[in-house]
Copies of this chain bind each other. A is one copy, B any other.
């Protein structure tokens, strides 16, 4: 008899019929003797509807009250789910963040879970009930409602699994697992049986949005095995687990890409201390996140500074920086929105040489110019022209033999 935490996203509970299907799936597991805890998101579309309502009220809604508003979406889902289970003849109980005791910090809209109580959940499980829990929400120490940000239900599920010491945390979504890359642009992409937390973090942060990144951090920290799988099939999905020795045999596990960044170059910057700070401070203050940064070799006391920001922040950044450039005596600010970042990821890189060389050669063979490079222990990212994204992903997928990968 296992204790299983399952999480179903908005598309999985997007209608009365879909909620009934989820109830049936959960009851199947319950009938096998498993204790079931189910974390649900708001029905698809509901969260956006609530945000729209708030924005009809005011352009800049109060963040505390926005969380009060947003938290209703998941409340509706768990109530309907429990009704469904009960109407099918099984006992059920829905619990909100405050009823479980999901304690967070006070950063409305992006709160972090600090502590979870388990008494009430175990009480309900002991009564042989199927317990459903509202994802995405918690309570700060003053008793205010907080929400965890987009994708927060994944974090709720993993944190619940950690607190309850569940045997597994199953994340149900609309894909069958984590793929070596996006099957829509690379038909030979292969579903992985296993992936390490570290690799998953790189995949998630680079645009393969299967799991919310904070939920993976949580799972890594508390060593919670995650099973990513489809609501709409019984196929085995992908296990996200701690790194094992076997995983290192595979050099590259997956290929991620991100078309949502833009590149900015400030040219002929006087190369003296404090210049980088002068450039980036105004961006940080405006809440603009800078991703890759490359500074070219200095020439005659002048240097070029290149970095990437989210496309959504591009125009705002260009506006800030044209003032900054004047202030520090730089020549000009150049921007390019037509770029993409392609990354190869794998824990095996740590122990295998020549991986970067192989990536650069593969791209060069296709005449794809590399504009920027950044590397980490288990990842190499290249910025290229956006139009080459799909081609780059496909040739790299083939070069590293991902379609035949004998996953552990």
The residues in A between 34 and 75 inclusive whose CB is less than 8 angstroms from any CB of B are: 50, 53-54, 56-58, 60-62, 64-66, 68-69, 71-72, 75
Check A62/B83 contact, CB under 8 A, given A57-B20, A98-B98, A143-B99.
Answer: yes
Interface hits, A134-166 → B, CB 8 Å: 143-145
Q: Which of A57, A92, A94 has the most B CB atoms < 10 Å from its CB?
A: A57
* Complex contact B60–A68 (CB within 8 A): no
A56 vs B18: C-alpha distance when bound (angstroms): 12
Cα-based distance from A54 to B93 in the complex (angstroms): 15
> Does B71 contact A84, Cβ atoms closer than 8 Å?
no
Does A120 touch B at the CB level, under 8 Å? yes
A224 to chain B, nearest CB (A): 27
Once A58-B84, A99-B143 are accepted as A-B contacts, the answer to whether A53 and B76 lie under 8 Å apart by CB is: yes
- Contact, CB under 8 Å: A94 / B75: no
**Whole-angstrom distance between the Cβ of A106 and the nearest chain B Cβ:** 14
Q: How far is the CB of A396 from chain B (nearest CB, A)?
A: 47
Interface string of A82-108 (1 = CB under 8 A from B): 111011000011101011000000000
- Our pick among B66, B78, B83 for the contact of A79 (Cβ within 8 Å) is B66
- The answer to the question of A16 belonging to the interface, with a C-beta cut-off of 8 Å to chain B, is yes
Would you call A86 and B68 a contact (CB within 8 A)? Answer: no
Given A16-B57, A60-B87, A80-B57, verify A71-B65 contact (CB < 8 Å): no
Distance of A62 Cα from B129 Cα, bound (Å): 14
| B75 lies within 8 A of A19 (CB) | no
Known: A16-B57, A80-B54, A120-B143. A86 touches B69 (CB 8 A): no
Tell me the A1-29 residues at the B interface (CB within 8 Å).
Answer: 16, 19-20
Instruction: Given A54-B83, A57-B87, A83-B57, decide whether A69 and B65 contact each other with a Cβ distance below 8 A.
Output: no
Q: Distance in Å from the Cβ of A135 to the closest Cβ of chain B?
A: 15
Q: A65-B86, A83-B58, A84-B57 known; A75 and B72 CB under 8 Å?
A: yes
Copies assembled: 2
* Cβ A75 vs Cβ B80 within 8 A: no
| Cα A19 to Cα B53 with chains together (Å) | 12
Contacting pair B62 A86 (CB below 8 A)? yes
Q: Are B58 and A69 in contact (CB under 8 A)?
A: no
When chains A and B are docked, how far (Å) is the Cα of A78 from the Cα of B20?
A: 31
Distance of A84 Cα from B50 Cα, bound (Å): 15
Docked-complex contact B94 and A65, CB < 8 angstroms: yes
Instruction: Known contacts A68-B75, A69-B79, A75-B72; decide if A53 and B16 are in contact (CB<8 Å).
Output: yes
User: Across the interface, which residues of B come within 8 angstroms of A86, CB to CB?
Assistant: 58, 62, 65
Complex interface: chain B residues within 8 A of A16 (CB): 53, 56-57
Distance of A278 Cα from B83 Cα, bound (Å): 37
Q: Cβ of A68: which chain B residues have Cβ within 8 Å of it?
A: 75, 78-79, 82, 94, 96
Contacts of A69 in B (CB 8 A): 75-76, 79-80, 83
Contact of A80 (CB < 8 Å), options: B53, B93, B143: B53
8 closest residue pairs by CB, A with B: A58-B87, A69-B79, A68-B79, A72-B72, A65-B82, A62-B86, A65-B79, A61-B83
26 A-B pairs with CB atoms under 8 Å apart are: A16-B53, A19-B57, A50-B76, A53-B80, A54-B80, A57-B83, A58-B83, A58-B87, A61-B83, A61-B87, A62-B82, A62-B83, A62-B87, A64-B93, A65-B79, A65-B80, A68-B78, A68-B79, A68-B96, A69-B83, A71-B75, A72-B75, A72-B76, A96-B145, A99-B143, A120-B143
A16-B57, A66-B83 given; name 6 further pairs at CB < 8 Å.
Answer: A58-B86, A62-B92, A66-B79, A68-B96, A69-B80, A96-B145
